[in-house]
Amino acid sequence: MNIKNHIPNLLTLGNLFCGTIAVIFAVQENFKLAALFVVIGIFFDFFDGFVARLLNVSGELGKQLDSLADMVTSGVVPGIIMFNLLSKNNVVTSFDEKINSFSELNIELLPFLGIILTLGACYRLAKFNIDTRQSDSFIGLPTPAMSLFVISLPLILEHSEIEFATNLISNHYFLIAITVVLTYLMNAELPLFSLKFKDYSLKNNIIKYLFLVLSLILIIALIYLSIPLIIMIYVFLSIISNNGKKATV
């Protein structure tokens, strides 16, 4: 048995291992540890492909395994976290009451809308596996980016001193809107740049360098609040980049 062929798959299983632990912490509402293990899992997810290309051992098994691991780390975990956030922020009015709960079972329905993120991630990952267009860039928001956006929300709620941000995250209508928008972006026919560098020239990578510099500044200045802003900037810069390419054609 050639051990070299299995190194990338072991890294992918590291992603799955971290994602499973993150699920446990998310259910326990320990959002900080859940976020930590999601980040570690995404780190494994990034390097399994890098190592596979480095060792020239990429194959169909690794591709399928990668999506299955991502489904847990970047699909199940954000769905659970959004469920918890909607449960905490679910203020039932007399208008909402009929559509929001089973009176006999006393089950609130609204928080389950958060699981739409999990369904959207699953659909995107399945499409990604059969889409040959996404080798050097992405079409639709990658599931790790969606996951990072969602896991940052309870951390912002707990640690941010910016009242406007915490008030938004405390509003269940805002959370439902975020759920719908992120699910749409994951599956939209929207080309997004990747951070893979074919060369390091400024001319060919200006958007990537601008994104990295802005991200670093935001992380230093805003910490947790920087994460959703970085994701939004990523989408915005991708749209600008795509429009620029169309204009030059």
- Residue 200 in any domain: the answer is no
C-alpha 92/C-alpha 240 separation (Å) is 41
In DSSP terms, 232 is beta-bridged to: none
- Residue 71 in any domain: the answer is yes
**pLDDT tens, position by position, 198-231:** 778 888 889 999 999 999 999 999 999 999 999 9
- Residue 209 in any domain: the answer is no
- Residue 14 in any domain: the answer is yes
- Residue 218 in any domain: the answer is no
CATH number at residue 48: 1.20.120
- Residue 169 in any domain: the answer is yes
Which residues, at least 6 apart from 17, have a Cβ–Cβ distance to it below 8 Å? 41
Closest CA to 85 of 162, 24, 158: 158
- Residue 35 in any domain: the answer is yes
Q: How many domains does the chain contain in total?
A: 1
**pLDDT tens, position by position, 28-64:** 999 999 999 999 999 999 888 878 878 888 778 888 8
80 with 127: CB under 8 angstroms? Answer: no
pLDDT of residue 121: 97
**DSSP state letter for 61:** H
Name the strand (E) or helix (H) holding 196.
none
- Residue 120 in any domain: the answer is yes
| Structural domain boundaries, residue 89 | 3-192
More confident residue, 201 or 249: 201
Q: What is the pTM of this model?
A: 0.89
pLDDT of residue 245: 63
